[in-house]
Structure 1
Amino acid sequence: MSVQQTGSRFIRLAITAPLTLLVVLFAISNRQDVPLDIWPFDLDVTFPLYAIVLVSMGVGVIFGAVMAWFSGGRARRRARHAERKVRGLEREMEKVSSTDTDKKDGQQGDAAQSQGQGLVMRT
């Protein structure tokens, strides 16, 4: 395990442990039942206060994450487009590079043949 992973693990633990402790303390100190009236259905349900608050916070976090994901769609689309373009340009570079290499090999072969013929002719 690298030093960076150890530091990252420590920071994660230093943030998660106090937050977990706060949630547990909140749940312990808010155990009283609270009636919850759901208006359109004329439904009256009783839940512990901590459950209502924590579920509401969880729904808010999920809603926020979904909104952040949707708002990042344009950037992800641009990144995919740029990645495809880079791949196409890399393929094109490889084709040009292999064509140049083939031409150079052909020219060197022609030069060697002409030098070889020149040597044969000189003797």
Structure 2
Amino acid sequence: MIRRLVSIVIFLPLAIVLIALAVANRETAPLRFDVFNPDNPALTVNAPLFVWLLAAAALGIIAGGVGAWFSQGKHRKMERKYKREARKLRFEAEDTRRKADDGETPLALTRSTS
């Protein structure tokens, strides 16, 4: 319930701002890819300004997500290591418990007489 309330409090104002931005910036704005000859129509794309603004925001969000994913790689690697270790220890504990139930003495619990 609180999560839904927080998302409404955050996303509703953001949606209002984006809608206002789109309505206020409906004029066509060119995006020129040729920096040496800006009048070249082959390398110019015309679209409403809000499209360019939303595309820039989307690229920023994607770039931030990719950067965060790469920076958290060492944490994911450690988690995989810990999961393998936990799985191994769980198997060993179950094996020891099974051997104890069968009446066998597991090797780890026998005392060496030297």
TM-score for the superposition, normalised by structure 1: 0.73
Question: What is residue 103 of structure 1 aligned with on the other side?
Answer: 103
Matched, 1:90 2:85: no
Flag structure 2 segments of 5+ consecutive residues without an equivalent.
Answer: 105-114
Q: Alignment partner for residue 7 of structure 1, among 2, 19, 43?
A: 2
Q: Secondary structure at the match of 2:96?
A: helix
CA distance in 2, matches of 1:11, 1:28: 26
Q: How many residues align?
A: 99
Superposed counterparts of 1:40-59, under 5 Å: 42=40, 43-59=43-59
Report the Cα distance in structure 2 between the residues aligned to 1:100 and 1:35, rounded to whole angstroms. Answer: 77
**Percentage identity across aligned positions?**
31
Root-mean-square deviation (CA, aligned residues, Å) is 1.8
Distance 1:7 1:72 in 2: 27
Q: Give the equivalent residue in structure 2 for 1:39.
A: 34
Runs of 4+ in 1 over 6 A off after TM superposition: none
Question: What amino acid maps onto 2:44 in structure 1?
Answer: D
Structure with the larger helix share = 1
Larger relative contact order (Cα-Cα within 8 Å, sequence gap ≥ 6): 2
Consecutive unaligned residues of structure 1, counting only runs of 5 or more, are 1-5, 105-123
How far, CA to CA, are the matches of 2:94 and 2:16 in structure 1? 57
**Is 2:67 the counterpart of 1:67?**
yes
Residue 76 of structure 2 corresponds to residue 76 of structure 1? yes
Determine the C-alpha separation between the residues in 2 that align with 1:19 and 1:7: 18
Distance 2:33 2:99 in 1: 73
| TM-score, length basis structure 2 | 0.79
